[in-house]
Amino acid sequence: MTLPETARSRNRFTEVITLIARAEYGKALQVCEEHLRALPDDVNILGLAGAVLIKLNRLDEAIQVLQQVIQLAPTFAKPHEDLGLALFESARYAEARPVLDNAVRLDPSLELAWLNLGKTIAALGDGRSADAAFERAFELNPERRLLALAAEHHKEGRLEQAERMYRQIVQSNPKNVDAIRLLGRVALSAKKNSEAEQLFRRAVNIAPDFVGAINDLGRVLKEQDLLEEAIECFERVTELQPRNAHAYFMLAGALAPAARTYDAIKIYEKALQFNPGHAGARLGLGHVLKTVGRQDEAVVEYRESIRIKPDSGESYWSLANLKTYRLSDTDIEAIGLQMENDELAEQARVNFLFALAKAAEDRGDYDTAWTNYVRGNELQRGQVSYDPVQTEVLTNSLQRVFDKELFADKKGAGNPDDSPIFIVGLPRSGSTLIEQILASHSDVEGTSELPYLGRVATSLNRNRADGINYPEAARELNTDNFAALGRDYLDHARRHRTEGKPHFIDKMPNNFPSIGFLHLILPNAIIIDARRHPLDACLGGYRQLFAKGQTFTYDLTDIGEYFLQYEHIMDHWHEVLPGRVLTMQYEELVTDFENQVERLLAHCGLPFDANCLRFHETDRPVRTASSEQVRQPIYKSAIGFWRNYEAQLTELIQVLEPSLPRYAKYL
């Protein structure tokens, strides 16, 4: 392509090429547009503008611009290549093929044109011709051949071979962002989140506007509960691709767990503006609508998700899991038809089984419900990683480290802030009810299940060459260290405090093993243990399919032994920190409500507030499976629910036998 003879055109061309090399696509387009206002037929800059529009996923605009370029310069191969790519990305394969054929005819050395031609022909169903085009591309770029082979290994699950090839490519070309990103994806598949994060950051540093790498970085940050950084990544993707529905879907999925529920609703709705058929956005919108108490609207979104994607097991489970909603005979029949599909995804099958179990339970058919609960839990147990021996080892370590001597030695340590209220315990034991009662108080803000206490504790593991980790590492800390760790927790939690109230609630139930550490870093924090009869607590967990975590709940022996470990460590905290933790027994709370609320408020040092007795009227997002129940007045029907399954619980009863006498008065 011949450049215009003006120095201005040459300078602009060089400037845009430099910006594209830096992946600064937004700025590159701005420079092109400014230049074209003065010289609208500058074919070189116009061609660059089309290429940049593809990078920004503005495909319709790119196609128009590139068609104009080809009219001005029909013998130039590059605009044909770019137009073919834009048509391919728009799934306009029949239109893309002749354009790409022209590109490689005009310049047979265009490796990417051959590659995209191969993809286009493959999409049209001509495998043999596609292979021939791919071979021409690989002849021109052997590195591309190796990347394609590695990607094939990756796709087929041969991660070791894929990783070896990706590393070979990166070693020979350290700036190959595709190989770096795909290497990060291998690490992510292997649950090596820190390594994956480093690789995605490396790819983004090389190519700051590389949408795929930014999106993957956001995913791994969200996986590690680094929500604020994840949100920044997804917001960047929406800036680069403002009409990309999936980008808004990912952003909303990070906003919701960051307690920005109403923002999440708006962003899900924006995703659906661009793609009304995005089943995941429908499902996600249903979840957040349920969270804010808009159940009828949630049902509409769940139903629409099912209409779009009939094999969406999660959508059916979400409907069934609505405590005041019942699946119809038509729903049950539709689920049965989906489960006949041998190719149904395993996780979808799990969701369907839990949905069928809940539907049968709602009808009083407990035998059918149990059969489906067992099948669903068995499948889910095979997909999660839980080691009961590791739980016991950790419990013993915590008791050994956090003893009376340590607390006496570290007396006066920690940050004196008294704003946090921690609610701990096992899931499905009344913690959401306690949270809703306290969040109805004028001095207390309900936030979420915050991941920060555990993260602060495990931060002691960093940079330890001697192998001494948490909890043993806590013995080496001094007063200032504990105060700094308390401040770290408060800094993280502050992101979720939007109401400016004196106290806030952290309702992460899994914090109960960390109470000793919590006392040392935040000695004035309030701690409440939500407890329930062990058979109801364990059965409640077994009947619930959790979105994340709680991996001990999918086997009756596991969950029973976990309860014993929970009880064991809580007994230890009561012994070494007498009076520090208030136990709120669910059965007492619902049968002696007003007295128990007064007791709860007294432990928190809060004045009586009648709103706490009218907790079900409090309008706030509730992000747990109990979100509907806590919007109802107090009820007692959940006490002793386990008796509906008593004949099937022999195994669990045997495991819990050492503990059951302590709770006999609640039968």
User: Could you count the other beta carbons within 10 Å of the beta carbon of residue 214?
Assistant: 25
Angle at 75 between CA 69 and CA 81, to 5 degrees: 65
Higher pLDDT, 149 or 406: 406
In a domain, 661, yes or no: yes
Q: Are residues 345 and 437 in the same domain?
A: no
Tell me the pTM: 0.80
Give pairs for 471-474: CB < 8 Å, separation 24+. Answer: 471/394, 471/397, 471/398, 471/401, 471/402, 471/516, 471/517, 472/397, 472/401, 474/401, 474/402, 474/406, 474/517, 474/520
| pLDDT number for residue 145 | 80
457: alpha, beta or left? (left if phi > 0; alpha if psi -120 to 50): alpha
For residue 275, pLDDT beyond 80: yes
pLDDT band at 448 (very low <50, low <70, confident <90, very high): confident
For residue 463, pLDDT beyond 70: no
Q: Are residues 552 and 615 in the same domain?
A: yes
The whole-number average pLDDT for the span 267-285 is: 96
In a domain, 278, yes or no: no
Write out pLDDT tens, residues 211-222: 999 999 999 999
Give the distance from CA 484 to its chain's centroid.
Answer: 29
Is 173:183 a contact under the CB 8 Å cutoff? no
The whole-number average pLDDT for the span 275-299 is: 93
In a domain, 610, yes or no: yes
Q: Are residues 655 and 544 in the same domain?
A: yes
Q: Are residues 496 and 631 in the same domain?
A: yes
Percentage of residues in the chain having pLDDT higher than 90: 71
In a domain, 114, yes or no: no
Q: Are residues 553 and 611 in the same domain?
A: yes
For residue 411, pLDDT beyond 50: yes
85, two tokens: 């790519």
Please name which of 321, 313, 264, 317 lies closest in space to residue 289, comparing C-alpha atoms.
264
Write out pLDDT tens, residues 244-254: 999 999 999 99
In a domain, 32, yes or no: no
The whole-number average pLDDT for the span 32-56 is: 91
Higher pLDDT, 525 or 620: 525
For residue 1, pLDDT beyond 50: no
Q: Are residues 525 and 412 in the same domain?
A: yes
The whole-number average pLDDT for the span 573-581 is: 97
How many Å apart are CA 512 and CA 573, to the nearest integer?
9
In a domain, 422, yes or no: yes
Please name which of 222, 247, 223 lies closest in space to residue 235, comparing C-alpha atoms.
247
147, two tokens: 């990347």
For residue 513, pLDDT beyond 70: yes
Domain CATH number, residue 459: 3.40.50.300
How many Å apart are CA 300 and CA 288, to the nearest integer?
13
Higher pLDDT, 144 or 428: 428
In a domain, 438, yes or no: yes
Q: Are residues 338 and 400 in the same domain?
A: no
Please name which of 399, 448, 418 lies closest in space to residue 527, comparing C-alpha atoms.
418
Query: Which residues, 6 or more positions from 565, have their beta carbon under 8 angstroms from its beta carbon?
Result: 391, 392, 395
Beta strands in 146-289 (DSSP E): none
22, two tokens: 């830096």
Write out pLDDT tens, residues 263-273: 999 999 999 99
Q: What share of the chain is helix, strand, coil (3-state, %, to 5)?
A: 70, 5, 30
Write out pLDDT tens, residues 180-200: 999 999 999 888 999 999 999
The b-or-e profile of 613-643 (16+ CB within 10 A means b, else e) is bebeebebbbbbbbbbbbbeebeeebbeebe
Q: Are residues 365 and 411 in the same domain?
A: no
Least confident of 8-17, 561-570, 596-605, 629-638: 629-638
Q: What is the largest CA-CA distance in the chain?
A: 94
Last residue of a domain, one of 381, 407, 424: 381
How many Å apart are CA 311 and CA 531, to the nearest integer?
37
How many Å apart are CA 642 and CA 658, to the nearest integer?
18
Amino acid 113 reads A
The whole-number average pLDDT for the span 354-361 is: 96
pLDDT band at 464 (very low <50, low <70, confident <90, very high): low
Q: Are residues 518 and 611 in the same domain?
A: yes
Q: Are residues 498 and 561 in the same domain?
A: yes
How many independent structural domains does the chain possess? 2
Domain that holds residue 363: 310-381
Q: Are residues 377 and 401 in the same domain?
A: no
266, two tokens: 């708006």
Last residue of a domain, one of 325, 353, 381: 381
Is 588:417 a contact under the CB 8 Å cutoff? no
In a domain, 635, yes or no: yes
How many Å apart are CA 521 and CA 479, to the nearest integer?
9
| pLDDT number for residue 55 | 87
Q: Are residues 500 and 642 in the same domain?
A: yes
Amino acid 453 reads L
Q: CA Rg, the chain, in Å?
A: 29
User: Could you count the other beta carbons within 10 Å of the beta carbon of residue 129?
Assistant: 15
Last residue of a domain, one of 326, 359, 381: 381
